[in-house]
Amino acid sequence: MGFRMGIVGLPNVGKSTLFNALTKTAAAQAANFPFCTIEPNVGEVAVPDPRLDRLAGIAGSKQIIPTRITFVDIAGLVKGASKGEGLGNQFLANIREVDAIAHVLRCFEDGDVTHVEGRVDPIADAEVIETELMIADMESIERRLANLARKLKGGDKEAVAQERLLKQALAVLEAGQPARTVEVAEDDRKAWAMLQLLTSKPVLYVCNVAEDEAAAGNDWSAKVAEMAAAQGAGHVVISARIEEEISQLDAEEAALFLGEMGLDEAGLDRLIRAGYDLLGLQTYFTVGPKEARAWTIRKGTLAPQAAGEIHGDFEKGFIRAETIAYDDYVAGNGEAGAREAGKLRVEGKTYEVKDGDVLHFLFNA
């Protein structure tokens, strides 16, 4: 599985510039006026993982297939969006379709780039969008509760459970907190996800700073970091302009450029890693002479379900998984060496796949 991350924020904070950098295209029109992104631009990019290249080199794999992440550049939001201001209705519809939100915040001064509110204040910007999403959620919940009335009178069990969850969400929203702060019981997680509340989406704050502040950030990004920590959200510091420049360079030139800027890695790597952490994702590998491939799964996924990411028949007919930890595969210089060293394990249906596992599944056709 991959995942979809929506890039959101007020107009002119650098959303489209970041999107262009991430997807290495100019598909999103980056311009100095609100709503330059009318339809959500969608781009898929490979998830960089040096482990995959190392495994492919050891196995002599002819093809390398990384896992992928989808970025969705969503139209800028303004105050009043929950009432349809600007492109609010479209924004709210598009955001329901993503797994997580990358909330781009302007943390730079630039007299040539107009701020829709006429000031630079990333905390206030974050509050504007959060408030609009919370208002939209409350209105949605009230409509749903009204529509459940008939089913509740009939004693519909599903309706009763839905009402309970909706009222839980409404209580925290009315207290000024997003729906993601609700503690959801394990048995309720599927029903909770079906509610598709906007403020239940995990949030990653992306601090867009000036080029000379990309390595250390600034006072604004430090305040965002404090806000993210208080919310249990993620945050990452990026200069969208630097990322756009890097995206036009080859690997060697990009490495030199990053070194000159005092950066160890591209913002794309940091953003994807932060997104993985936010959603509790991890990677396992399948390796052979034909191909080396990365697969994304959620932490805690059992071996049969991990096999199901390759093909449904693998999950249905799962017998066992031959498993080698990444470090053991490298240390043994491949499967044969790992097997001789006693590092190849046979795992059954209750095995929780670990990040970096190299797996070979056996199944009944």
Residue among 31, 5, 33 nearest 16 (CA):
31
Ranking 19-28, 180-189, 310-319, 350-359 by mean pLDDT, the lowest is: 19-28
DSSP assignment of 25-47? S--S---SSTT---SPEEEEEEP
Answer yes or no: is 16 a known binding residue: yes
User: Does the annotation place 17 within a ligand binding site?
Assistant: yes
Q: Please determine, for residue 91, whether its predicted confidence score (pLDDT) is greater than 90.
A: no
Q: What's the pLDDT tens digit per position in 143-177?
A: 999 988 888 877 778 888 899 999 999 999 999 99
Q: Where do the domains of the chain lie, and which CATH numbers do they carry?
A: 3-278 (3.40.50.300), 300-363 (3.10.20.30)
How many whole angstroms separate alpha carbon 68 and alpha carbon 278? 16
% of the chain with per-residue pLDDT over 70: 88
- How far apart CA 53 and CA 222 sit, in angstroms, is 35
Cβ atoms of 309 and 295 closer than 8 Å = yes
Q: Is 60 annotated as a binding residue?
A: no
- 13 among annotated binding-site residues: yes
Q: How many whole angstroms separate alpha carbon 10 and alpha carbon 87?
A: 11
SS3 at position 334:
coil
pLDDT of 207 higher than 70: yes
Check residue 11 and report its DSSP letter.
T
Q: Which pLDDT tens digit goes with each residue over 341-364? A: 999 999 999 999 999 999 999 998
